[in-house]
Amino acid sequence: MTISSGYPLLVKGRRLVERLDRTLAWSMPGYCSFCLAGTAGNRPWCEPCFRALSWHTSACPLCSEPRPASVSGSMPCGYCLRQRPNFDDSWVPFLYEGEIAQLIQRFKFRAERRAGQVLLQLMLQALELRHGPLPVQAIVTADLHVRRARERGFDQTLWLGRRMARALDLPLYRATRLRLTPTQRGLSRAARQRNVRRIYHVRSPLPDAVLLLDDVMTTGATLEALSRACREQGARHVTVCALARTPAARAI
Ligand SMILES: [Zn+2]
Ligand SMILES: [Zn+2]
């Protein structure tokens, strides 16, 4: 065998080893999901990787728009000052970039439950590190429209919502989509708001304070539509929560 004919085999072999490494990292408890180092306890990450994640530390308290650390923590962003969102506040622990974005993509588009588990645990850990628990009485998630759920084969928000509700000992309410809207990707904020106006319905009455849970928060247009649906069912305080915020989603 010549070197040139053996080379592709070598590359294939190396790719297989890399894939195996990744699979092992994702499936072995006691190892960091990001760097394969051994971890203490049951956490699927090591301390340096955990600290290096894209933590969302400086945000508008209302819409979680990322902003420079020098801006005061309680000051709403320019957009919220001009037009208050329908929801009351938001909490989003990560920025949608780096390892977090990769995890979310694995979870959302490839239905990797292990990635979902890591995200769930990161979310719960971030909640623990937050000052005090979130003052909510229920979690609300929006179902994917049946057609989109069939295309994708997996409703990631419901998956996450069920586990968050169980971990926090809160009831889970589901908002149904009344109609399918075109995908939100690539649309401006105004177009997104038009796209999702009155498309959600929550079936039963809600308690006073609810947590609206989504995977990624972009402009918040979907969450504003959901918030309106929650208020129609009696919610008086709506807190939005997502795993990650897309940075600089819109100009202010
Ligand atoms: Zn690590
Ligand atoms: Zn804002």
Place of tokens 């085999």: 9
54-245 CATH fold:
Rossmann fold (3.40.50)
Ligand 2 centroid vs 68 CA: distance in angstroms? Answer: 13
Ligand 2 centroid vs 196 CA: distance in angstroms? Answer: 19
For residue 238, the model assigns a pLDDT of 97
Domain residue spans of the chain: 54-245
Q: Which residues have a Cβ under 8 Å from the Cβ of 216 and sit 6 or more positions away? A: 96, 104, 242, 243, 244, 245, 246
* Ligand number nearest to the C-alpha of 36: 1
Nearest to 56 by CA among 250, 241, 252, 226: 241
For residue 2, the model assigns a pLDDT of 43
- For 130-161, the pLDDT digits (tens) are 877 788 999 999 988 777 767 777 888 999 99
Per-chain residues with Cβ under 5 A from ion ligand 2: 60, 62-63, 65, 77, 80
Angstrom distance (rounded) from CA 240 to CA 214: 8
For residue 18, the model assigns a pLDDT of 59
**Six token digits for residue 55:** 């933590």
For residue 13, the model assigns a pLDDT of 56
Ligand 1 centroid vs 97 CA: distance in angstroms? Answer: 17
57: three-class secondary structure by DSSP: coil
Q: Which residues of the chain have pLDDT under 50?
A: 1-4, 249-252
Ligand 1 centroid vs 228 CA: distance in angstroms? Answer: 41
For residue 1, the model assigns a pLDDT of 44
For residue 196, the model assigns a pLDDT of 63
For residue 210, the model assigns a pLDDT of 97
